A and B are shown apart, each in its own frame.
Chain A
Amino acid sequence: MGNKTAGLFLALITGLALVMGQATVAPAANQPRTKDEALGIKLAKLAKQAVKANKHWTTTDHSKIKALDQDFTSGSQITQACLSCHTDASMQFEKTIHWTWKVESEKPGIMNGKAGHAVNNFCISGNAMEDKGCLGCHVGWNGIKEEVNCLNCHGGEKFNYKEAFSDIQAFMEDDDPETQEIVKELQGEIKNAVKNITMPQRNHCGECHFKGGGGDGVKHGDLDTSLAKPNKMLDVHMAAEGADFTCARCHTTVRHNIAGRLYTRPASAERKSLIQDDMATKITCESCHGTLPHKTESKMNDHVDKVACQSCHIPEYARVNPTKMWWDWTKAGDLRDGKPYVVKGEFGKPTYKSIKGEFKWEKNVKPEYFWYNGSFSNTGIKDKIDPAQIVKVSQPMGSRLDPDSRIHPFKVHRGKQPYDKINKQLVAPMLSGPNGFWTTFDMKDAITRGNKALDVPFSGEFDYVETTYAFPITHMVAPAEKAMACKECHIRDNSRLAKITGIYLPGRDKNNFIDGIGIIAVLGAFGGVALHGLGRFFTRNGKED
C-alpha cells in the first residue's frame, strides 16, 4: 500500500471516527420520535409563552360581582352566593375524594381513603370522619356538617370566617351603636375577603398537604411548608426563579377532580403531555418532558425504561424541613404528675409526646428504592396481618418483569402501632374528642370506639406490631445539575440500589466466578513471564559473554 493511499485512508477513518463519536454522544434518538411527541413539545412551548405573556387566567373580577356584595352572617350564605353563578360547583366537589375522603379499592367491600378502611402508621385512622382531630382539613364550613367551603381553596386571603361569624352572632343583639360599628366593620372585612377570589395557590393546597399527619413535613418528606416559597435548589418547578408553578399547574382539574393522585389506581397507561390533554388522571414527568428527556447523554435516555425520573432528580428529600421517620405508639400514654408532656429533640421537633409516643425525625434523607407500577398494596383495617412479620401498611407494587414498573424513590415511615391479637387485624383507635385516647390515655377503650365507628369488630385484646408505610417521593425536584451522580448506584459497595436485585447493574454487579478466573489468569500470565524473564536473566540468554 503506497504512502499516498495510506494517508487518504487514514484521513477517511479519522473522519469516520469523528462522525461516529458525534453519533455516540448525540444520537438521532434525541429527536421526538412521533408526530404526537413533536406536537407535545411545540404545544408546551406555546403554553409557556402564553403563561408568560399574561398571568391572569380568569375573565371574572369577583370584586364586581353583585352576589358577593352582601352582608354575610354564615358560611352557608357565602357558598350559596358562589353557587348562584357556579351552579354545579359544590355538586361536583362533593363527589371528589377531597370531600368524601373515600375511594374504591381493588378489593370488594373495602373502601380506601381516610374515611374508609385505610389505615396508616401516623394517626392511624380517620374513623369515618368521627375523629374530630382529623376534620381540620375537611373542606366543609364545619367539618362534614355544613356545605362546601369554596374559600378554603379559592380564598385570596387567609381569613378566620368562623371567628368572625360567631362574633357577629354575639354582637348582633346588642343595640349599642359602637357594637353595631364593630359588626359593620366585620361585615366589611368578610365582604372584602369573599370578593378576593383566586385560583388555588400553593398555600391553599399546602395548608393540608404540607402538614399531613399532624404537622409540618410529618408525613410526606417531599411536601412541607418549605415548598410555599422554594428556591431553585429545592424545587426547580415551583421556585419563583424557576418555572414558578403552582400545585395546580401540574395537578390539573376537571370538574373539581384533581389529577395526580398516587394511590391504588394502576399506572397511567398513556404518557401524554398535560398540555395536550388536561384529563390525564396521573401526572408523570413524561407528561411534559417526553420519554427522551436528556439532551446530550444518550445513555441517560436509556435509563427511562427502568428508572423513574425522580430516582436521579430527587437525590434527597426533606432538604429544608425535617420529616418524621419513626413513630412508636407503644410509648404513648406516659404521664408526669398525671399530665401529658412533650420532649423536644434535634431540629426543635418533638421526640416524645405522651399523646402520641416516640418519634424520630430526619433531614436530607436518602430515599429507599422499589419497583413501582403506579399502584400500592395497602393493608386496611379489614385485612388480615401476620404479626410475626413487619406489616407493610402501604407498599408500592411492581416488579422488574413488569414493563410498566420503574425503580422509584420512596420515603418509608416505620413505626409500631396497635393490632387486634385475636382477629389479627390492624385497629383504628379514636384519638380526639372527650373519649379519645388523647384525653383518656386508655388505648383499649380508644380502639373499641374507633373500630365501632368503622363497624369493624374488636376482640378486646391488642398488642403492638411494627409497620412500614411507603410514600412516593416526587416533589422537591432539584435542578438538572444537582441530579444524582452515576456512582450512587453504579458502585460495588453501598449502592443506592443494593436492594434492587435480579438485574445486572454495571459497576455494582459482577460474576465472582468469571472475575476469579480472570484474575487468576492475569496473575498466571504475570507469574509466567516473570519466571521466563528471570530464566533468561540468569542464563544470560544462553550467551557465554
Chain B
Amino acid sequence: MNDRNLIKVYLYTRFERLWHWFQALMIFILLITGFEVHGTYTLLGFKTAVTVHNFVGLSWLILFAFFVFWLLTTGEWKQYIPTTKKLFDVVLYYAYGIFKGQSHPVQKSKGAKHNPLQRIAYLGISAMLLPVQMATGLLYYLYNVVPGGLDLSILAVVHTLVAFLLVNFLIIHLYMTTTGHSLFSHISGMITGWEEIYETTKIQEWENKATKKN
C-alpha cells in the first residue's frame, strides 16, 4: 500500500456538491418532520411539521425535475448505469478485504465516480425510492383535490415504508463515507470536490463507456 502515492483529482463539480448537500438537507428535514407528522415523536409541533414538510417536499419535487434534466443533458446519467461487473468483488471487499487491508477493487476516477455497488444503490434510490416517495407524497398532499385518489391509508403506508428505507440508506451511506483511506476523506471530497485516489489507478476498459475525454 505504502508504495503507491495518493494524488488528488477534482471529481465533483460545485454544482454536484451543492446539489448533494442541498438534497441531503432536504431529506434530513423531510425525515425529521415526516416522522413527526407520522406521530413518532413531538419536536416542532404537528402544525409546523406539516407546513415545513409540505414546503420542502413540494420544493424538492420541482428541484428533482431539474436534477433529472441536468443528468440527461450532461450525460452524467451514465454514472448510474448498473453493472454486475466487479460487483461481487466490491461486495467481497467490504465483507472481507477491508479487514485485511486490501485495496478497493474499483477506484474512483473522473469518468467513473461510482463503483458498481454505488451505481446500483444510487440508481435504486433516485429511480425507485425517491420517485415513489414523491408520487405518494404528492398524492397525499393533493388528497382532497385529486378525485378518486388512492385511499389515504395506502398512500400513508407506502410513504412511511419508503421513509424507513431512506433512513436505512442514510445510516449505511453515512457509515460508508468512513471507509475511505482516512475516516473523513470521502466527506472532505464531497465538500471540496477533490478526492484523493491512488496514482496507479487506471480506468478499466469496461468503465470507459461512461468516460468523458479527460
Contacts and interface: CB of A to CB of B under 8 A. Distances in A.
B149 interface: no
A503 B163 CA distance: 21
A299 B54 contact: yes
B147 to A, nearest CB: 11
A10 B46 CA distance: 31
A176 B62 CA distance: 97
Interface in A501-541: 503-504, 506-511, 514-515, 517-519, 521-522, 524-526, 528-529, 532-533, 535-536, 539, 541
A302 interface: yes
B175 A514 contact: no
Contacts of B102: 542
A269 interface: no
A525 B171 contact: yes
Contact of B168 (A490, A525, A535): A525
Contact of A542 (B63, B94, B99, B144): B99
Given A507-B39, A514-B157, A529-B175, A536 B99 contact: yes
A33 to B, nearest CB: 12
Interface stretch (A19-27, A197-205, A369-377, A470-478): A19-27
Contacts of A529: 171-172, 175
Contacts of B171: 522, 525-526, 529
A510 B14 contact: no
Interface stretch (A1-9, A74-82, A249-257, A389-397): A1-9
Contacts of A522: 164, 167-168, 171
A533 B39 contact: no
Contact of A541 (B46, B94, B98): B98
Interface residues of B, number: 51
Interface string B99-112: 11110000000000
Contacts of A517: 161, 164
A519 B39 CA distance: 14
Contacts of B128: none
A384 interface: no
Nearest to A487: B46
B38 interface: yes
B172 A486 contact: no
A492 interface: yes
Given A506-B37, A515-B160, A517-B161, A17 B62 contact: yes
Given A13-B66, A541-B98, A510 B160 contact: yes
Contact of B144 (A21, A24, A302, A492): A302
B37 A504 contact: no
A422 interface: no
A39 interface: no
A21 B46 CA distance: 19
A305 interface: yes
Interface residues of A, number: 54
A491 interface: yes
Contacts of B1: 543
Contacts of B153: 504, 509, 511
A128 to B, nearest CB: 48
A243 interface: no
Interface in A66-125: none
A247 to B, nearest CB: 33
B131 interface: no
B152 interface: yes
B5 to A, nearest CB: 17
Contacts of A302: 143-144
Contacts of B145: 29
Contacts of B38: 506-507, 510
A144 interface: no
A23 B58 contact: yes
Interface in B90-136: 94, 97-102
B74 interface: yes
B47 A486 contact: yes
B72 interface: no
Given A13-B66, A485-B47, A504-B156, A24 B101 contact: no
A510 B99 CA distance: 41
A533 to B, nearest CB: 7
B165 interface: yes
Interface in B14-61: 14-15, 18, 37-39, 42, 45-47, 50-51, 54-55, 58-59, 61
A521 B160 CA distance: 13
Contacts of A24: 54-55, 58-59
Given A9-B70, A24-B55, A510-B38, A518 B161 contact: yes
Contacts of A509: 39, 153, 156
Contacts of B37: 490, 506-507
A25 to B, nearest CB: 7
B201 interface: no
B167 A510 contact: no
B151 interface: yes
Interface in B150-202: 151-153, 156-157, 160-161, 163-165, 167-168, 171-172, 175, 178-179
A26 B39 CA distance: 25
B204 interface: no
Interface string A278-309: 00000000000000000001010010010000
A504 to B, nearest CB: 4
Given A24-B54, A305-B144, A508-B39, 12 more contacts: A9-B70, A16-B66, A17-B63, A20-B62, A21-B58, A506-B152, A507-B37, A515-B164, A518-B161, A518-B164, A535-B99, A542-B101
Interface of B: 1, 13-15, 18, 37-39, 42, 45-47, 50-51, 54-55, 58-59, 61-63, 66, 70, 74, 94, 97-102, 143-145, 151-153, 156-157, 160-161, 163-165, 167-168, 171-172, 175, 178-179
